[in-house]
Amino acid sequence: MQTIDNYNFAGKKAFVRVDFNVPLDENFNITDDTRMVKALPTLKKILADGGSLIIGSHLGRPKKGPEDKFSLRHIVAHLSELLGTEVKFVDDCVGDKVKAAAAALKPGEVLLLENLRFHAEEEGKPRGLAEDASDEEKAAAKKAIKASQKEFTKELASLADVYVNDAFGTAHRAHASTALMAEYFTPENKMFGYLMGKEVAAVNKVMKEMVRPFTAIMGGSKVSSKIDIIENLLTKVDNLIIAGGMTYTFTKALGGKIGNSICEDDKLDLALELIEKAKANHVNLVLAVDAKIADDFSNDAHTDFCDVDKIPDGWEGMDIGPKSEALFADVIKKSKTILWNGPTGVFEFDNFTSGSRAVAEAIVEATKNGAFSLVGGGDSVACVNKFGLADQVSYVSTGGGALLEAIEGKVLPGIAAIQG
């Protein structure tokens, strides 16, 4: 497989798919440029080699064609600043003016294309179908968009000599620019950018090349949103720690009293099945033994601690208690590979962060002792950032949904398109 380090971009036009889906305020100022900063090593390497850049991204979720609030023109000035060079902008991503702008690019020059999702072809889903459209109409619209997506993809690919995908955040989408256009480049002319390469390597270290013991900590609110992940992890891990709101579905399924705690009553059987699966796979399933409880879902509620299966009526579990913190930390500290997804409690309220902090600190200690730790998929990233510990774990994924699909064991189209 081609790598960005081995490639000399001198004289080449590189199409780089980035994830510049940055948050903007009401005056279109960027409020967090992390995603742009993360792509800089790739962009700068190409320019330093003497290549030119054609940068493609999406911004937001436009569903009806061009809309100014989703225009990438809002980020041009900041990108110029970050790259230290003028960024040219073209207000479309296909068509004659785009072809002309790309053709005129000289080594060291940068062209940013307009939001790829202004065209329905990027995602390949029909738009504007009437709600009462018949099945035939839906099928015809689907067929039509697939045909025009092919032309759109070909045209994007024709702009460049080489394709670089640095957008891990959209790697789980089989969109024109994230996966399909790779087909138009030979294996030596398509590759991951640095960010994407790091994300893929981190996922592989955990899911394929894990050093044992391997511990996953799954938190968050609902079992239902994590079933596929838990099922897949039960075939890989040595220890599976279940935390967060989903604890109480397990506790209730086992006959415990959970008061007003969050619970999915239709998932009680599933919880018991997962417990049986863990046994069958010789996985040490670690459930909380105590809880920090509150008499209201609020930061200022009265609080107390109790056994996880003896929560009084009118109270709810908002975080794990100190015994569970010690239990989880002990397992984590003995691990050599660690995956953390989802907080142990309602970490948004300062009075219920203790469990998540204890998990984060145990991961940091294990990492210092040589473990590989991957934190990702939403709120656990917010946790390590909140605790100022993000730089003390091995890798914090930028991936969100893409990371979750990867740990579900799915093949991500954006990765497969390059790896073959």
Residue nearer to ligand AMP on the CB measure, 46 or 407: 407
Q: Which of 44, 73, 99, 222 is catalytic?
A: 222
Binding to ligand AMP (CB under 6 A) within 289-328 occurs at: 317-318
* Residue 56 makes contact with ligand AMP by CB under 6 A: no
Task: Reply yes or no on whether 154 is catalytic.
Answer: no
Q: Least Å distance between CB 377 and ligand AMP?
A: 7
Q: Which of 378, 386, 399, 414 is catalytic?
A: 378
Out of 92, 228, 379, 408, the residue judged to bind ligand AMP by CB under 6 A: 379
Out of 51, 244, 259, 321, the residue judged to bind ligand AMP by CB under 6 A: 244
d(CA 101, CA 398): 31
Residues 6+ apart with CB under 8 A from 75: 20, 22, 30, 36, 59, 112
Give burial (CB, 10 Å; 0-12/13-18/19+) of 222.
Answer: middle
Residues 6+ apart with CB under 8 A from 261: 245, 247, 248, 251, 291, 311, 316, 317
Q: Least Å distance between CB 49 and ligand AMP?
A: 40
d(CA 284, CA 297): 31
Token pair, residue 237, equals 């891990």
Q: Least Å distance between CB 70 and ligand AMP?
A: 25
Element (H, E) at 377: none
Give burial (CB, 10 Å; 0-12/13-18/19+) of 188.
Answer: exposed
Q: For residue 204, how far is the Cα from the chain centroid?
A: 15
Query: Which residue's C-beta sits nearest to ligand AMP?
Result: 220
Nearest to 403 by CA among 385, 415, 417: 415
Question: Among the candidate windows 16-24, 36-44, 151-159, 337-345, which touches ligand AMP by CB under 6 A?
Answer: 337-345
* Residue 342 makes contact with ligand AMP by CB under 6 A: yes
| C-beta of residue 13 within 8 angstroms of C-beta of residue 54 | yes
d(CA 34, CA 39): 9
Site string for ligand AMP, 183-222 (x = CB under 6 A): -------------------------------------xxx
Task: Reply yes or no on whether 35 is catalytic.
Answer: yes
Q: Least Å distance between CB 225 and ligand AMP?
A: 5
Q: Least Å distance between CB 76 and ligand AMP?
A: 33
| C-beta of residue 373 within 8 angstroms of C-beta of residue 363 | yes
Catalytic center residues: 35, 222, 378, 401
Contacting residues toward ligand AMP, per CB under 6 A: 220-222, 225, 244-245, 262, 317-318, 342-343, 345-346, 348, 378-379
Numbered residues of the known binding site: 19-21, 35, 58-61, 117, 173, 226, 317, 348, 377-380
Numbered residues of the known binding site for (2R)-3-phosphoglycerate: 35, 117, 173
